Amino acid sequence: MGERVVSLDYCADQFVLRFVPSEHIAAVSPDARKYFSFMKDAHVAVPSVRSTAEDVLALNPTRVVRSYGGGPGAPAFFKRAGIDVVQLGYPSTIDEVKENILNISTQLDNRVEGLRVVDEFDQRLAQLNTRSDTPTALYTTPGGVTTGPGSLVHQLMVAAGLVNFEERSGWRDLPLEKLVYKQPDQLANATFGDESTHVDPWTRARHPRARALMRNTPGVAFEGAWTSCGAWFLMDAVEALAEASSILQELADD
């Protein structure tokens, strides 16, 4: 029997569907075909499996790939069963994203493709048409949350030639008080194509100041797949941010 790879969650799905030949993929997670899965259209005939031990073992895998799938005890359990475990990292910078791509592609016996993916990533970064000034951008979610320095989203803004409007580190509520006297030049609006997602009457996204911000500030509507996990498709978000910023500059110059 040849290699049989099982992916236990949707971040792992992306790497398995990109770097493992379809004939060696025994199954991916049920989320592999969801809207937030960048590789949802790859190898559509590959079956899916829940990440429970019984279901996975029934497929006789030689290797499992995971980010969080199967719970914290999954790596030790599958290793005891004689199954190779590939554990994804949790990158928080662009350099760590590229390192993760090379690390996982190597473990999946496809470092050549990993090198090609990282090279393309670097080329796209180098070709960005960023503005000469420093416009600000605010990341927003339907739940009224944003993020500052120390997050991967912050890194995407910097790569796109933008200054993060949120100056405090970590994840936090939208800065409504600051928005009373100062506004960002553009938004990175993570509605993921559905503005009702995770919105309840108590979120800061319902506040009149936040609603006015959404109506009056230009920006980019992030697709869910762009930032679903730290991988090569983050570049789609970076390019969208940089392009929107350049268009705003052209409009301002006319």
pLDDT of residue 17: 97
Place of tokens 């090569």: 232
Range picked from 15-29, 175-189, 199-213 for highest mean pLDDT: 15-29
In a domain, residue 162? The reply is yes
74 and 178 housed in the same domain: no
Q: What spatial distance separates the first Cα and last Cα of the chain, rounded to whole Å?
A: 65
In a domain, residue 144? The reply is yes
Is residue 209's pLDDT more than 80? no
In a domain, residue 108? The reply is no
Q: Which of 73, 88, 103 is the last residue of a domain?
A: 88
Q: Compute the distance between CA of residue 113 and CA of residue 119 in angstroms, rounded to an integer.
A: 10
Instruction: List 85's β-bridge partners, or say none.
Output: 64
246 and 164 housed in the same domain: yes
Q: Compute the distance between CA of residue 219 and CA of residue 188 in angstroms, rounded to an integer.
A: 6
For range 54-79, the mean pLDDT: 96
68 and 173 housed in the same domain: no
Is residue 252's pLDDT more than 80? no
**Which tokens in the block code for residue 111?**
């470092």
Q: Compute the distance between CA of residue 61 and CA of residue 63 in angstroms, rounded to an integer.
A: 5
179 and 249 housed in the same domain: yes
Going from the C-alpha of 75 to that of each of 7, 87, 245, the distances in angstroms are 13, 8, 43
Is residue 196's pLDDT more than 50? no
**Which tokens in the block code for residue 212?**
């006015």
pLDDT of residue 179: 86
In a domain, residue 199? The reply is yes
Place of tokens 């996975």: 56
H or E element, residue 145: strand 145-147
**Average pLDDT score over the chain:** 89
Q: Which of 65, 88, 111 is the last residue of a domain?
A: 88
- Domain of residue 152 covers 136-253
Q: What is the pLDDT of residues 214-242, one digit of tens each?
A: 777 888 888 878 888 999 999 999 999 99
Number of compact structural domains in the chain? 2
Helices (H), the chain: 10-19, 53-57, 74-80, 94-107, 111-126, 152-159, 176-181, 208-216, 234-253
Q: Are 51 and 18 in contact (CB under 8 A)?
A: no
In a domain, residue 218? The reply is yes
pLDDT of residue 254: 56
pLDDT of residue 38: 92
Q: Which of 158, 154, 186, 195 is nearest to 172 (CA)?
A: 154
In a domain, residue 118? The reply is no
* CB neighbour class for 33 (10 Å; exposed up to 12, middle 13-18, buried from 19): middle
Q: What is the pLDDT of residues 111-169, one digit of tens each?
A: 999 999 999 999 999 998 776 678 999 998 888 889 999 999 999 999 999 999 999 99
146 and 226 housed in the same domain: yes
* CATH code assigned at 50: 3.40.50.1980
